[in-house]
Amino acid sequence: MKMAKLGLLFDQKEAQKRWSSNQNVFEVFLFEVMDHLRIPYEKIGFEDLSKSYDVVISVLCGERPENGEKLLDYVSSGGMLISYGGLECIKDALCFSSRQIGQIGYAFLSDVLSQKMPPLRYLAADSWSAGDNSWTIVQQGTISSTNKDTEVPSAFALQKITYGNGSIQRWSVRVPETIVGLQQGTKPVTEDGIPAPDGTANLDEGLLKADDGFELDWELDRSVTETGMPYFPHPYADLWKEAIIEHLFSCAAEKGLTVPFLDYWPADIKHMAMISHDSDLNVDESALITLDTLKRENVQSTWCMIAPGYSPYIYENIKSDGHEIAMHYNALDQDDGVWSKEAFSEQLKWVQNIAGSNQIVSNKNHYTLFEGWGELFGWCENHGIQVDQTRGPSKKGNVGFLFGTCHPYFPAAWADKKNRSYNVLEIGFLTQDLNHHALSDSSIIEPFLDGVKKVNGVAHFLFHQYHLYNQPKVREAITQLIRTAKEQGFTFWTSSQINQWERDRRKVSIKGLLGEIEVDSKVKREDFAVLVPLPESTMEESDDEIVNRFGFRCRKVRSLSNIV
């Protein structure tokens, strides 16, 4: 079994054309998906298609006919071409036509994937209808305007077109754009969001927040727990990543090849969890009881500090117990806060002063306040803040996978910055202050942990120190969460630890199927695990650990490092 040679085709001229017209090219987020997994690939142009790539993914492709000819030549000679919408330059040559469908809906993929998936919400689609042609076409999955399987499908989700000696695998859903839209919204935050019809999430309270830009449906996308707590149960963005990576692995397997990748977490860690706190009200006693609770459960957490802060001795206790001190940027008008880079800078200086350190790497905005698209991430970049945690629910009725993800990721900028990735790791949270009298109860712990485990993300829970102090039931909930998570194999890290791990693993390049990797010399760890998807027929005994990822049995190999 050999490693597939994978090319990601990106039409730079088409991208520049769109950016010059202030059009987003969120297709570029596919690079982030691949980079997160450290999947070996080469970024290529049309002139590179002759270099014997086993599989080519069309990230962005313009409509120029000459490019279509090169694509069809590649496929005809035995190549495998994957695309998420697009491919307008070969549509007419293949005798297909565009099909008018709604841009928002759900994909049913039970006959596409081996993994069991709920109907996956999408935010952008581009479907084709087959005309009179001689190609062999296999059409799988369906897309529909609702997530009810009684609805008449709008189109097929995936079309597999045999052309010459090769194959074109075209998804009707524009997956990278859907992922960005779910995680970051589809437009800048400039107005209140639509409130929940049942009154559990009043997003129209006159404060601009991260959740004002969420893209889920109150009726179709929420569930309730056995105690009646509403929540969003599905990390749709992460599940789309699962879907397209399983499909990629399947395409490679069809050619007798495999695609190795780096496991999301260190070799000895099964699942990841995180607790953060916001120091609102700054009562010393609340800090002390929080420290005592965490010490008893042997967990380190991230403390997001807001002015005026605690007494000085509290910070020494926080640091000596191994916790992280972070920033809690306050732009709330009633606190005389201001949404500006100057206010952000001044508040960071205050946190650095009270912490006695310039090494503040994490931030979460007070009230999850958020304006525009990427201003906050730009401020973080300019001031050395490497992690943001602002993207989470602010209300009882919108807890859970509100932004479709529990993965750490580097957000995409708007078109005016050519959709580059901000050098800020986003680690959103799922809920806050379980058992608080006005928020969700602890019945959501199990479904949230289950959702995180399905996609190997971060189970990030927020608890305010004051509520741990003032409401005993909240204190009971954090203890219940920690013990339940540990029983299920979760390890608790701070935001800073997750950030360092993610940045270290981004410096790893996979070079072979036996765990061979190259690692930047600045990385001081060796606990990486390379996973190698195995053919379905492979059942032989092995000393290596076998794990299931992306619908495949994978050989887990401790990395063999080559420092560069």
Over range 12-34, report the average pLDDT. 98
pLDDT category at 428 given cuts 50, 70, 90 is very high
**What is the pLDDT at residue 520?**
86
Burial annotation 463-493 (CB, 10 A radius, 16+ → b, else e): bbbbbbbbbeebbebbbebbeebbebebbbb
The answer to whether position 461 is within a domain reads yes
In this predicted structure, what is the pLDDT of residue 405?
98
Instruction: Place 304 in a pLDDT band, splitting at 50, 70 and 90.
Output: very high
| Total domain count, the chain | 3
Confidence category of residue 554, pLDDT binned at 50, 70, 90 = very high
* Residue 257 maps to a domain: no
pLDDT of residue 150: 77
- From the number of C-beta atoms within 10 Å of its C-beta (0-12, 13-18, 19+), residue 240 rates as buried
- Return mean pLDDT, the chain: 95
Q: pLDDT digits over 316-371, tens only? A: 999 999 999 999 999 999 999 999 999 999 999 999 999 999 999 999 999 999 99
Q: Which of 151, 173, 195 is the last residue of a domain?
A: 173
Query: Within a domain: residue 93?
Result: yes
Task: Establish if 243 belongs to a structural domain.
Answer: no
The predicted structure's pLDDT at residue 134: 77
> Any idea what DSSP says for residue 119?
P
How confident is the model at residue 151, as a pLDDT? 78
Tell me: pLDDT of 559 over 80.
no
pLDDT of 352 reads: 98
pLDDT band per the 50, 70, 90 thresholds, residue 117: very high
d(CA 405, CA 179): 9
Q: What is d(CA 90, CA 66) in angstroms, rounded to the nearest whole number? A: 10
Are 542 and 497 members of one domain? Answer: no
Cα 510 to the chain's mean position, in Å? 22
> What is the rounded average pLDDT of the residues 517-541?
85
pLDDT at 561 over 90: no
Question: Considering 484, 502, 520, which residue would you say is the last residue of a domain?
Answer: 502
* Mean pLDDT along residues 223-232: 98
SS (H, E, C) 61-81: CCCCHHHHHHHHHHHHCCCEE
Are residues 480 and 407 part of one domain? yes
pLDDT at 560: 66
Residues 403 and 520 in one domain: no
Same domain, 524 and 482: no
**CA dihedral of 516, 517, 521, 522, whole degrees rounded to 10:** -130
Residue 340 has φ and ψ, to the nearest 5°, of: -160, 155
Whether pLDDT at 540 is above 60: no
pLDDT(16) > 80: yes
Q: What is the CATH classification number for the domain harbouring 82?
A: 3.40.50.880
Flag whether 188 is in a domain.
Answer: no
Q: pLDDT > 90: what percent of the chain?
A: 90
Residue 253 belongs to some domain of the structure: no
As a whole number, mean pLDDT of residues 50-79 equals 95
**464 shares a domain with 317:** yes
Cis amide leading into 308 (omega within 30): yes
Q: Which CATH number goes with the domain that contains 474?
A: 3.20.20.370
Half-sphere exposure of 518 (CA within 13 A, CB side): 4
| pLDDT at residue 536 greater than cutoff 70 | yes
**Residue 274 CB partners (closer than 8 Å, separation 6+):** 301, 302, 427, 458, 459, 460, 461, 492, 493, 494, 495, 498
Does residue 417 belong to any structural domain of this protein? yes
Question: Per-residue pLDDT tens for 257-292?
Answer: 999 999 999 999 999 999 999 999 999 999 999 999
Query: Can you tell me the distance from the alpha carbon of 129 to that of 91, in angstroms, rounded to the nearest whole number?
Result: 10
> Strand 80-84 vs strand 120-122: parallel, antiparallel, or unpaired?
unpaired
Q: Phi and psi at residue 166, in whole multiples of 5°?
A: -125, -165
For residue 121, give its domain range.
2-173
For 164-193, how does the pLDDT look when each residue is reduced to its tens digit (9 = 90+)?
999 999 999 999 999 999 999 999 999 999
Residues 515, 433, single domain; the answer is no
What is the pLDDT averaged over residues 415-420? 98
Rounded Cα distance, 491 and 456, in Å:
12
Q: Which long-range contacts (CB under 8 A, 24 or more apart) does 47-50 make?
A: 48/7, 49/7, 49/9, 49/73, 49/74, 49/79, 50/74
Query: Are the C-beta atoms of residues 279 and 309 closer than 8 Å to each other?
Result: yes
Same domain, 275 and 407: yes
CA distances from 315 to 115, 289, 413, 457, 475 (A): 47, 14, 35, 30, 21
pLDDT at 539: 62
Q: 296 and 335 share a domain?
A: yes
Predicted confidence band at 398 (pLDDT cuts at 50, 70, 90)?
A: very high
Shared domain for 9 and 154, answered yes or no, is yes
Q: What is the pLDDT of residue 563?
A: 54
Return the closest-CA partner of residue 410 out of 400, 402, 421: 421
**pTM, entire model:** 0.97
Q: Do residues 17 and 115 both lie within one domain?
A: yes
Q: What is the pLDDT of residues 232-245, one digit of tens each?
A: 999 999 999 999 99
Most trustworthy range by pLDDT among 36-50, 120-134, 510-524, 547-561: 36-50
What local confidence, expressed as pLDDT, does residue 205 receive? 96
pLDDT at 488 over 60: yes
The answer to whether position 538 is within a domain reads yes
Which pLDDT score, from 0 to 100, does residue 542 have? 65
Out of 173, 189, 224, a domain closes at: 173
Domain check: are 151 and 270 in the same one? no
Instruction: For residues 410 and 524, state if they share a domain.
Output: no
